[in-house]
């Protein structure tokens, strides 16, 4: 009976019940209801839209209207990005290259770039929109962001120079590292608490 209940509980309900039951490890815990004040002001999603800038990687949910291609992106990049990232994103005074590295992860010199590392192309749009350029984040228009995304993808050989990137085409790009991730499966070590006659630690100095 109890296990059936557990299976059908929602997260919210589960946490609520856990709070009521008390948590020995944390004497200050109490149920959310006990602290509830209802002081938040209701707001409608439309009034959060200026903040609602996240784009979900796998399906591109949140990608806005607009479009841009690598040709437009190059001009923008030269004007707004190259001073830190270098011409053609090959590395500049502040940051390393954003081009290449595809296929490098099975070598001992992994090169992390948007092309080699991102599993989903919409995440590149998300990051440029939220954080770039460093000196004026969230200043780019949607078309500009699409164009810069298109340029970086093109430099990495992942889209054509004239390919228009928009909400549909960007989400359709298959990134090389799409299947490169595994979810946390730790603990992955199995250290033993040896007290006597243990294997000496590896150190950078010769043993005495």
Which residues in the 47-76 window bind another protein by CB under 8 A? 48, 51-58
Within residues 78-107, the interface with another protein by CB under 8 A covers: 84, 93-95, 105-106
**DSSP assignments along 51-71, one per residue:** T-----TTT-TTPPS--B-HH
**Residue 139 Cβ vs another protein, minimum distance, rounded to whole Å:** 11
Residue 181, token pair as written in the block: 């991730």
* Nearest-angstrom CA–CA distance, 61 and 52: 11
| Span from 68-76, 133-141, 146-154, 164-172 in contact with another protein (CB under 8 A) | 133-141
CA–chain centroid gap for 25, Å, is 33
For another protein, give the closer residue by CB, 160 or 180.
180
What is the spatial distance between Cα 14 and Cα 34, in angstroms, rounded to a whole number? 16
| Least distance CB 162 / another protein (angstroms) | 26
Binding mask 108-127 for another protein (x = CB under 8 A): xxx-x-x--xxxx--xx-xx
H or E element at residue 78: helix 70-80
* Rounded least distance, CB 202 to another protein, Å: 5
CB of 147 to another protein, least distance (A): 18
* Comparison of 32 and 160: residue with beta carbon closer to another protein: 32
Q: Which of 5, 36, 82, 91 binds another protein (CB under 8 A)?
A: 36
Establish whether the linkage from the previous residue to 202 is cis, with ω within 30° of 0.
no
- Smallest gap from Cβ 2 to another protein, in A, equals 19
Token pair 């005495």 in the structure block, residue: 208
Question: Rounded to the nearest 5°, which phi and psi values hold at 169?
Answer: -70, -35
């Amino acid at each position: 009976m109890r296990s059936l209940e557990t299976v059908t509980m929602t997260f919210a309900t589960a946490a609520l019940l856990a709070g009521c039951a008390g948590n020995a490890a944390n004497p200050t815990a109490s149920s959310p209801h006990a602290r509830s004040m209802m002081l938040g002001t209701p707001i409608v999603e439309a009034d959060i839209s200026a903040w609602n800038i996240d784009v979900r990687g796998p399906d591109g949910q949140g990608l806005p209207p607009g479009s841009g291609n690598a040709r437009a992106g190059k001009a923008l990049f030269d004007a707004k990005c190259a001073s830190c990232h270098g011409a053609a994103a090959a590395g500049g005074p502040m940051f390393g290259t954003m081009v290449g590295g595809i296929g490098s992860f099975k070598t001992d010199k992994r090169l992390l770039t948007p092309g080699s590392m991102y599993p989903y192309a919409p995440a590149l749009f998300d990051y440029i929109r939220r954080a770039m350029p460093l000196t004026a984040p969230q200043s780019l228009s949607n078309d500009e962001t699409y164009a810069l995304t298109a340029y970086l993808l093109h430099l990495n050989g992942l889209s054509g120079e004239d390919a228009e990137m928009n909400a549909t085409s960007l989400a359709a790009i298959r990134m090389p590292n799409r299947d490169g991730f595994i979810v946390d499966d730790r603990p992955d070590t199995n250290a033993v608490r040896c007290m006597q006659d243990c294997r000496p630690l590896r150190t950078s100095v010769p043993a005495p």
